[in-house]
């Protein structure tokens, strides 16, 4: 395969300044895509990342996924600069650690916020990007999910439910948008991001110990899965691609 498999292609990454999103932006840029780094409020982080990306044509765009008008404006900016969009990566997501048995700790505001960002935000991002992707001749949408959607083990029960919804949306959208646009979930296990490093060390060690490969995923490994979906796994759609070190086997 060419070392620049995305040359001439344009990618948008929501949640582009997060631990996984940053790795995705860098990997896609290294593959020669022009990358639009979507961010919610971390404008300084986005601008700093912009300066680190190889190649040209990159942009930093405010893309709060709960604001449909802002998403539409961001995609319009991509259209104005590049007149195309080939790959949408829905990496925006939020959570907060709440023990599964602590239903009182899972307050209504947190429930609404998680579902707004992780589920409604994904739909809104796809809706905003779709016209430009179709005018570009199609492409691929990659949703960053989590094995929590399958195992029902994760930072809290609503987060798990939100990722199950993401996987279901992936299947529905794959059916609805075929044949021009492919839709795939990349579903990581626990990823060694700044957020995860802030959690209890003994809990992280326990999670790694329960995984056959005996470690957490690196953000770059998730990013390489996204790149594969966009470039080489071209007959894949409606699929859930695990990057979990075999965690469900543990």
Positions annotated as catalytic residues are: 159
Helices 121-135/157-177 angle, 10° precision = 20
DSSP 105-121: TS-HHHHHHHHIIIIIH
CB 16 within 8 A of CB 215: no
Select from 10, 34, 17 the least CA-distant residue to 92: 17
| Extended beta strands in the chain, E state | 10-14, 34-39, 59-62, 87-90, 139-144, 181-188, 240-243
User: Quick check: bond before 179 cis, omega within 30?
Assistant: yes
CB 146 within 8 A of CB 91: no
């Amino acid at each position: 395969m060419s070392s620049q498999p995305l040359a001439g292609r344009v990618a948008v990454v929501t949640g582009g300044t997060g631990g996984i999103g940053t790795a995705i932006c860098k990997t896609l840029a290294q593959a020669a895509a022009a990358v639009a780094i979507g961010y919610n409020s971390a404008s300084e982080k986005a601008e700093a990342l912009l300066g680190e990306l190889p190649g040209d044509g990159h942009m930093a765009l405010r893309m709060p996924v709960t604001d449909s008008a802002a998403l539409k404006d961001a995609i319009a900016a991509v259209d104005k600069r590049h007149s195309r969009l080939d790959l949408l990566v829905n990496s925006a997501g939020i959570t907060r650690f709440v023990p599964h048995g602590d239903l009182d700790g899972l307050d209504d505001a947190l429930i609404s916020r998680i579902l707004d960002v992780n589920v409604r935000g994904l739909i809104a991002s796809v809706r905003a990007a779709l016209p430009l992707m179709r005018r570009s001749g199609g492409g691929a949408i990659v949703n960053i999910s989590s094995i929590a959607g399958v195992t029902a083990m994760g930072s809290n029960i609503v987060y798990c439910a939100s990722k199950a919804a993401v996987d279901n949306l992936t299947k529905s959208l794959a059916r609805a948008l075929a044949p021009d646009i492919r839709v795939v979930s990349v579903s990581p296990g626990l990823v060694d991001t700044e957020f995860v490093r802030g959690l209890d060390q003994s809990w992280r060690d326990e999670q790694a110990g329960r995984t056959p490969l005996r470690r957490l995923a690196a953000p770059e490994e998730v990013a390489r899965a996204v790149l594969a979906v966009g470039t080489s796994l071209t007959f894949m759609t409606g699929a859930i691609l695990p990057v979990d070190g075999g965690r469900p086997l543990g």
